[in-house]
Amino acid sequence: MQNNELLNLIIVFIVFNSCQFNQSINKDFITGANSRGDGIGCEDVQIEINGKTVTRTEFIYGEKIDLVFNDIRGLTKSEGKTYPEISMYIVKNEKDTILHNPNLLKNLMDGTDLSPLQLIANFRTGFPFENEEKYKVVVKIWDKKGDGRFNYELPFTIKKNDLLNIKNSGIEYSSIYLWNKTLKQPVFDKNVSSEYLYLLVLNDIGGLKLKNNKVFPVFSLDLIDNNGRKIISNPNLLSAYGKKGINPQDLLDNQLTSKITFKDEKINNPYRLIVNLKDTNSAKAINITTELILN
């Protein structure tokens, strides 16, 4: 009897460990991420921003987040290749799906022979944050040639980009930011380069007073060096519409942008950026300022 009980115990132990090999549940207590593998596993998952690994999950508005899955294991091999699939979706406040990409590898028709295999899912944090919204990104990896699955969930929040000081008196907008057009990414700190072209971007402008069904904004920009010299100065970037006005829907549907460049500029730090958007027919206005350091 004791031998039979011992044998049963050994069998149960072996089955349990076999399940543990094929299934895994992990919790990252630093980031709050959860992962569950069923036949598929990976060495680790890294959160990267601008090529640097981070552990923070409060992201700045506009940041590009890379989720890097290192050394994917458990995929079925067919003629020396594996056939992974990966999807990603983002949920706001546990109920609203605001981004969904069902197949990030839809162009990988012929599989891959990469080993170790690394997969990357990325997104940009251009989501609302004013009401302390909470988000969760869910990434699913599965085997096109088998039954293996791997799920990863990361909770995160978003905060505003503090580079710009914005004072608003009644004009509506969704976002205002400095954009590096050369690198195609937002600017998050005051350091800038003469090698790049920048754009100040204002989105979804509204709330201006109508006159004959048109609005009459004035959009000015000054960039001033440490000696008070204006290296860029334009009293109204919308002067072409000064008399005829702008259809308010056009203003709402399109971005207001202004180019900023330091090309051929002799360094004289710091530089002061001053931008104003004013409503000619009311006291409504937006004032935008920041300090920039040319490197």
pLDDT score of 97: 97
Residues 56 and 38 in one domain: yes
Tens digits of residue pLDDT in 135-166: 999 999 999 999 999 999 999 999 989 999 99
Residues 118 and 178 in one domain: no
Residues 145 and 93 in one domain: yes
Domain annotation covers residue 9: no
Residues 200 and 256 in one domain: yes
- Secondary structure (3-state) at 213: coil
Residues 31 and 153 in one domain: yes
Q: Which of 105, 132, 159 is the last residue of a domain?
A: 159
Distance CA 94, CA 82 (A): 34
pLDDT score of 163: 96
pLDDT score of 8: 43
Longest dimension (CA), the chain: 100
Residues 85 and 25 in one domain: yes
Strand partners, 167: 287
pLDDT score of 22: 61
Residue reference for tokens 């940041």: 63
Residue reference for tokens 């790049």: 196
In this prediction, the residues of the chain whose per-residue pLDDT falls under 70 are: 1-22
Domain tally, the chain: 2
Cβ contacts of 30 within 8 Å, gap of 6 or more: 55
Q: Which of 137, 159, 181 is the last residue of a domain?
A: 159
Domain, as residue range, for 238: 165-294
CATH number of the domain where residue 75 is located: 2.70.50.60
| Element housing 13 (H / E) | helix 2-22
pLDDT score of 238: 96
Region of residue 39 (phi > 0: left; psi between -120 and 50: alpha; otherwise: beta): left
Domain annotation covers residue 230: yes
Q: Which of 109, 142, 159 is the last residue of a domain?
A: 159
Distance CA 81, CA 114 (A): 8
pLDDT score of 132: 94
Domain annotation covers residue 281: yes
pLDDT score of 264: 82
Residues 25 and 146 in one domain: yes
Short-list 165, 163, 77, 70, CA closest to 120: 70
Residues 190 and 279 in one domain: yes
Contact 270, 251 (CB under 8 A): no
Tens digits of residue pLDDT in 190-243: 999 999 999 999 999 999 999 999 999 999 999 999 999 999 999 999 999 999
